[in-house]
């Protein structure tokens, strides 16, 4: 499948190219040219399934031509090797627990998937640039630790992340480097985007992103919406804590692919 820049649809890339580039040359985000629709019986199956069973069918159309189904299943079984239980809090209200991964962040799913994909599709050494306000950096540091041919540089705003998150970022070592920036998260993100568009820097040291601008970071998060629907056995209203809306975008993608849903609530701090 081809992926186009949302700012200029004439800029097209394969899945592998879009993942490695992270951001389109015009600063646009890559998005799939087509969204396949899966039948309702897939989402509400009565079979005994695992999260990766959903992931293979949901992501295979996008990775086609770059990663075959067998390899995709292998990746997803490694990525989703922790529970994603749906717990009832009170009558009719449930919580999908996404904190059972290595850093207790929902972003463990996307970061781990991206690291495994990049290690398979890239034939040259890459540097991953990441701006973080906390949990992204922790998940990326853990997800990419010891991954061959990939270095990670994490930018985080001074004094604006928790002590635990800072410890997770700065103590990984090996191929992970964390840089404390005197500024805001938005300034960190601007620095990352500017670096991506520096052609001389890209030529000297190929760069990619692990922020939610990367399709291989946010798209696999659609899997746990499908997994929640399967566990519940009926359409749900998803209330999603939202920052830059990458997580809820994954849920909307699942809905566009045919997942039965009763609605979405974007819960913000604003």
Cα distances (Å, whole numbers) of residue 243 to 27, 135, 249, 265: 20, 12, 11, 13
- Distance (Å) of CA 254 to CA 117, 218, 233: 20, 12, 16
User: Which one of the listed residues 12, 69, 77, 107 is annotated catalytic?
Assistant: 107
The phi-psi region of residue 241 (left if phi > 0; otherwise alpha if psi is between -120 and 50; otherwise beta) is beta
At which residue do the structure tokens 């601007």 appear? 190
Classified as helix, coil or strand, 138 is helix
Q: Is 256 a catalytic residue?
A: no
Secondary structure of 120-132 in the HEC alphabet?
Answer: HHCCCCEEEEEEC
Catalytic residues: 107
């Amino acid at each position: 499948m081809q992926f186009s820049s949302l700012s200029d649809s004439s800029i097209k890339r394969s899945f592998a190219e879009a993942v490695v580039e992270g951001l389109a040359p015009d600063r646009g985000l890559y998005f799939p040219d087509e969204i396949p629709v899966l039948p309702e019986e897939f989402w509400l199956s009565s079979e005994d399934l695992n999260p990766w069973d959903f992931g293979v069918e949901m992501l295979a159309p996008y990775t086609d031509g770059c990663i075959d189904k067998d390899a995709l299943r292998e990746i997803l079984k490694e990525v989703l090797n922790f529970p994603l239980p749906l717990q009832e809090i009170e009558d009719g209200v449930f919580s999908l627990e996404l904190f059972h991964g290595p850093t207790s962040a929902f972003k463990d799913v996307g970061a781990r998937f991206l690291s495994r994909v990049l290690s398979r599709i890239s034939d040259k050494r890459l540097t991953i640039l990441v701006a973080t306000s906390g949990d992204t950096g922790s998940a990326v540091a853990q997800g990419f630790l010891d991954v061959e041919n990939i270095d990670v540089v994490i930018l985080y705003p001074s004094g604006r992340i928790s002590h635990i998150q800072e410890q997770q970022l700065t103590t990984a070592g090996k191929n992970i480097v964390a840089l404390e920036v005197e500024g805001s998260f938005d300034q960190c993100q601007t620095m990352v985007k500017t670096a991506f568009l520096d052609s001389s820097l890209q030529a000297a040291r190929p760069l990619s992103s692990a922020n939610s601008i990367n399709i291989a970071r946010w798209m696999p998060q659609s899997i746990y919406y499908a997994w929640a629907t399967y566990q519940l056995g009926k359409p749900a209203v998803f209330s999603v804590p939202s920052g830059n809306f990458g997580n809820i975008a994954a849920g909307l993608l699942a809905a566009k692919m045919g997942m039965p849903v009763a609605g979405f609530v974007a819960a913000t701090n604003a």
